[in-house]
Chain A
Amino acid sequence: MGLIQNFPAVSILLCLFAGIISSGLKKQAARYVNTILISGVGFLSLCTLMYILETGEAFVYVMGKFPAPWGNEIRAGVLEAFMALFFCIIMLLSLAGGRKKLADEVEDGKTFLYYVLMDLLLASLLALVYTNDLFTAYVFVEINTIAACGLIMIRQNGRTIEAAARYMIMSLLGSGLLLMGLCILYDLTGHLLMSNIKEQMGWIYLSGQYKMPALVTIALLSVGLAIKSALFPFHAWLPDAYGYSTVSSAAILSSLVSKGYIFLLIKIIYRVIGFEVFYESRIVDVLFAFGLMGMIFGSISAIRENDVRRMIAFSSVAQIGYIYMGIGMGTQAGMEASIFHILSHAATKSLLFIAAIGLTDVSGGSRQFIELTGSAYRNKWAGVAFTVGSLSMVGVPLFSGFISKLLFAQAAVQNDVKMLPALIVLGISTILNAIYFMKTVIRIYTPVEEHKYESIAFKNMKLYVAALLCFIILNVVLGVSSQPIVDLIGQGLAMFS
C-alpha cells in the first residue's frame, strides 16, 4: 500500500476540513484556502492518475479497519482520477473567471460562505467520483444538492431563491427515487459495496429470478439520477438556476454538478448493475429517447430565449440530452462518447457562461440581446471567447465539440437500430445550435452607431482574461489531440469491470 493510495481519501477529507475551517475565516483567507485546496486536490489527483497509469490497475482503499463486505471503500481507477483532476481544473478556472464579478453579486459579509460551499461541493464531487459504496454515494449526492442549492441562493434576489426552491424540489424527487432504488438493491443483494452487488447481480441475472425487482431498481436509479442531472422533461428548474445565480455558480453547476450525477450513473451502470444487465433491460431505450428529445427541445427553447444566460442554460439541456443519447446507445463506443462529451461540455459551457458575463457587463448589465449589440468590441476578450465557445458548441472542427459529435456519430453508426434517429437528431440539433449561437455571435459583433456603454480595459480584468484563455486552450486541446484522452477513457472504462 503506497503513499499515493491514500490520496483519494485524503483529498475528500481535506475538502471537508477546509470547509469547516473556512467557516471561521474572513473572506480573503477563505478564498486563499479554497484556491490552495483546489490546486492541491488537483495535484493529488494528478499523482493518483500517474500512479494508476504506472501500475496499470485500479486500487481499492479501505476506510477504517473493516474489510470488504462491511467496511466502506474508496476505489480509484484511471477514469476516476482523471475526472477528479478535470473537475478541479474546471472549478479553479470558473472561480478565477467569476471572481471579480463575485464582489457585486454576493453580499460582502457572506463571501466566505461561498467558498465554504465550494469546498463542500468539491468534497461531494470527489466522493461521488471515488466512492465504492452506494449508500455513501447517496449521502454525498445529498451534500452535493445542498451545496449546489446554497450556491444558487447565495446571490440574494427573488429569482434565485425561487430557483433554489425549484431546484431542491426536483433534486429531492430524484434522490428519493435513488434512495428507494438503493434500498431495493440492498434488499435484492444484501450488499452496499459496488463490487459485491455486481457479483450478486450477475448471479441473479444468470438464475433468471427477480427479473421485475431488478428492472424496477434499474429504472429507479436511472430516473433518479436523470432527474438530478436535468434530463429533458425534468429540466424546468435549470434555466432559472443557471440564469440568475452568480456566474461562477452557473459555470460550476452546469459543468460539474450535473456531470457528477451522470458520472455516478455511469459508475452504477458499469460497477453495480453490470453493463450487459443494464443493456438487457430496456431502460437504455428510454434514456436514449429522452436524450434525443432533450437535444431538440432544449435547442428550440434556447432559440426562443431572449436572455443570453438563459439561452446558454437551455443549451445545457440539449447537451445533457447528447450525453444521455450516448449512454442510451448501449455500446462501449457510445459510453466513451458520452464521457468525452462530459469533458468537452464542461470546458465549453463554463467558457460560455464566463464570456457571457463579460459581455453583459459592458452592456449596462442587461442580458437582453438587443443591448448586447456590439459588445464584443467593448470587451474584446470576452467576444473572442464567446465565439470560440459557440463554434465548439456548433461543432466546428478543431474545437472539442466536433470531436464529441464525431464520437457520437461513430458510436451511432455501429448500432443498426439507433443509427438513423441518432444521426438525424444530431444533425437537426447541430443546425439548431448553429441558429442561436451564430445569431448571438453576429449580434455581438455588429457595430453600433452611438456608444452607449463604456468598454473595459485589459488591465481591469487580467485574471478574467487568463481564465478565458485557459478555457480556450483546454477546448482546443480537447479538439485537436483528442486521441490520448479517448484512449484514457477507454482504459478507464475497461478498469471499471
Chain B
Amino acid sequence: MGANLFSNYGEAVAMILFGIGFGNLLLQNNLIKKIIGLNIMDTAIYLFLAEKGYIENRVAPIVTNGVQSMEAYINPIPSGLVLTGIVVSVSVSALMLSITIRLYQRYQTLDLDEISTRLKKEGL
C-alpha cells in the first residue's frame, strides 16, 4: 500500500488536493474561499488526468520535426479532457463570481450564513 502510494505520488497528491478543495467548497462560509476551493478541486482533477496520460520519456502530442510515430508522444486524450474541463471550470467560476458580486452588492458581506439570517429577518 505504502509502496503503491509512493510510486503513484502524483495521483496521491491529486487526491489530497481534491479533498482540500472539496472540503473548502463544502465547509467555508466565505463565498470567495468557496470559489477558491472549487478551483483547487478542479485543478486536482486535471492533475490527476495529466498524471494518468503522461508516459515516461515522451513529449506532448504536438507534431514537431515531422516525427509521426505514436511511440514518441503521450496519450493525447487526457490532455483533451483537461482542456475541456478547464473551459467548463472557467465558466462555472465566472458564474459563481458574478453571483458573489450580486450578493455582495446587496448585503455587503460574503458570508452565506449571514446572508441567510438577514433574508429571514427581511421576511422575503
Contact = CB atoms under 8 A, between A and B. Distances in A.
A317 interface: no
B58 interface: no
B124 A183 contact: no
A84 interface: no
B45 A157 contact: no
Given A162-B112, A187-B52, A169 B119 contact: no
Contact of B95 (A149, A177, A186, A244): A149
B84 A139 contact: yes
A294 B77 CA distance: 39
A165 B95 contact: no
Interface string B8-52: 000000000010011001100001001000100110010011001
Contacts, number: 84
Interface string B51-90: 0100000000000000000000000011001001100100
Interface residues of B, number: 37
A176 B99 contact: no
B25 A172 contact: yes
Contacts of B118: 158
Given A162-B116, A172-B38, A179-B85, A146 B22 contact: no
Contact of A183 (B34, B49, B106): B49
Q: Is chain B's interface secondary structure helix, strand, loop, or mixed overall?
A: helix
A363 to B, nearest CB: 17
Interface string A169-184: 1001100110110010
B31 A165 contact: yes
A246 to B, nearest CB: 15
A168 interface: yes
A164 interface: yes
B100 A165 contact: yes
Contact of A139 (B21, B41, B88): B88
Contacts of B103: 161-162, 165
A146 B96 contact: no
A159 interface: yes
B112 A183 contact: no
A30 interface: no
A180 B45 contact: yes
Q: Is chain A's interface secondary structure helix, strand, loop, or mixed overall?
A: helix
A173 B25 contact: yes
A24 to B, nearest CB: 20
A190 to B, nearest CB: 9
A313 B77 CA distance: 41
B38 A183 contact: no
Contact of B112 (A138, A158, A166): A166
A153 interface: yes
Contacts of A186: 49, 52, 78, 81
Contact of B99 (A138, A145, A157, A165): A165
A135 interface: yes
A85 interface: no
A187 B115 CA distance: 42
Contacts of A176: 18, 21-22, 25, 38, 41-42, 45
B52 A158 contact: no
Interface of B: 18, 21-22, 25-26, 31, 34, 38, 41-42, 45, 48-49, 52, 77-78, 81, 84-85, 88, 91-92, 95-96, 99-100, 102-103, 106-107, 112, 115-116, 118-119, 122, 124
8 closest A-B pairs by beta carbon, nearest first, are: A142-B88, A176-B41, A165-B99, A187-B52, A159-B124, A161-B102, A179-B45, A162-B115
Interface of A: 135, 138-139, 142, 145-146, 149, 153, 157-159, 161-162, 164-166, 168-169, 172-173, 176-177, 179-180, 183, 186-187, 192, 244
Given A161-B106, A162-B116, A168-B96, 18 more contacts: A138-B88, A142-B92, A146-B91, A146-B95, A158-B118, A162-B115, A165-B103, A168-B99, A169-B25, A172-B25, A172-B38, A172-B92, A176-B41, A180-B18, A180-B48, A183-B81, A187-B52, A244-B124
16 contacts: A135-B84, A138-B88, A142-B92, A158-B106, A159-B124, A161-B102, A161-B103, A162-B116, A166-B112, A169-B25, A169-B26, A172-B25, A176-B25, A176-B45, A186-B52, A187-B52
